[in-house]
Amino acid sequence: MKLQLGKVESYIHEKLTKEKLHFVLLDPDDVPPETAGKIAEMGEEIGVDAMMIGGSTGAEGEVLDGVVKAIKESSSLPTILFPGSHGGISRYADALFFMSLLNSRNPFFITGSQALGAFTVKRYGIEPIPMAYIIVEPGETVGWVGDAKPIPRHKPKIAAAYALAGQYLGMRLVYLEAGSGAPQPVPPEMIGLVKRVIDVPLIVGGGIRTEEQARTVVEAGADIVVTGTAIEKAGSLEKAREKLEELNRGIKG
């Protein structure tokens, strides 16, 4: 077996040699296809690097397919699934974060759902990208749904230990997640320690709403920043555009 990175993973590595990346997460349960398409189109103009699609609840079947298709029709950004379970797989997406929730108490979220989804990913020909998913306090909905034991915010070393374990298990990305809509992003001290310990790219998401917060997360060591709620809940497409621009400035400098 020869290790060969897929198209989307290669794109990520290629881009990371030049700049920090901004991924926008849309939840098909909250955003209709037409709006998702428009956000992706604006995102591409502004310099967003990829669209992530998923949610903890309800992001499945036709609702999911509709959003992925709309994004593909209105932009050429890579579409990466961010599944809450094996139900969150759409044949229309380019890639999928094949994630294991390392600090879950429930084996379903560590390997069970992955086994149930593996053949679907193969059949659809979606590019799986192995990823260590680590939930930090407060964890919000995904912390509860994923039955996580959230990493205490003042214990960066525990996060770093999980991240390094993920890398040693062969995962090629590490995602530190404070939870969608978290009151505060993952603390900079934790991002910094995790970044110093691992060699694979570090993704950070959850609670990033302002340019200042995005900049802090990047300066602390994040390679890829995920924003979702701030854009989904901007209030109008015009405001979503302003938010995308603001967050993108914080990330790209």
Ligand X SMILES: O=P(O)(O)OC[C@@H](O)CO
Ligand Y SMILES: CC(C)=CCC/C(C)=C/CC/C(C)=C/CC/C(C)=C/COP(=O)(O)OP(=O)(O)O
Enumerate binding residues for ligand X (CB under 6 A). Answer: 25, 142, 177, 180-182, 205-208, 226-230
| Size of the residue set binding Mg ion (CB under 5 A) | 2
Residue 156 or 179: which CB sits closer to ligand X? 179
Identify which range of 9-17, 32-40, 62-70, 93-101 contacts ligand Y by CB under 6 A.
93-101
206 is in an annotated binding site: yes
Minimum CB distance to Mg ion, residue 67 (Å): 12
Q: Give yes or no for residue 166 binding ligand Y (CB under 6 A).
A: no
Query: Taking CB under 6 A as the criterion, which residues in 35-74 touch ligand Y?
Result: 54-57
Q: Give yes or no for residue 27 binding Mg ion (CB under 5 A).
A: yes
Q: Which does 248 bind (CB under 5 to 8 A by kind): ligand Y, Mg ion, ligand X, none?
A: none
> Are 77 and 44 spatial neighbours (Cβ–Cβ below 8 Å)?
yes
Q: Give yes or no for residue 117 binding ligand Y (CB under 6 A).
A: yes
- Residue that the structure tokens 């995790």 belong to: 194
One symbol per residue from 48 to 87: x for binding Mg ion (CB under 5 A), - otherwise; what is it? -------x--------------------------------
Q: Which positions make up the binding site?
A: 27, 56, 175-181, 206-207, 228-229
Sites of contact with ligand Y (CB under 6 A)? 25, 27, 54-57, 82-86, 98-101, 109, 113-114, 117, 133, 141-142, 145-146, 180, 228
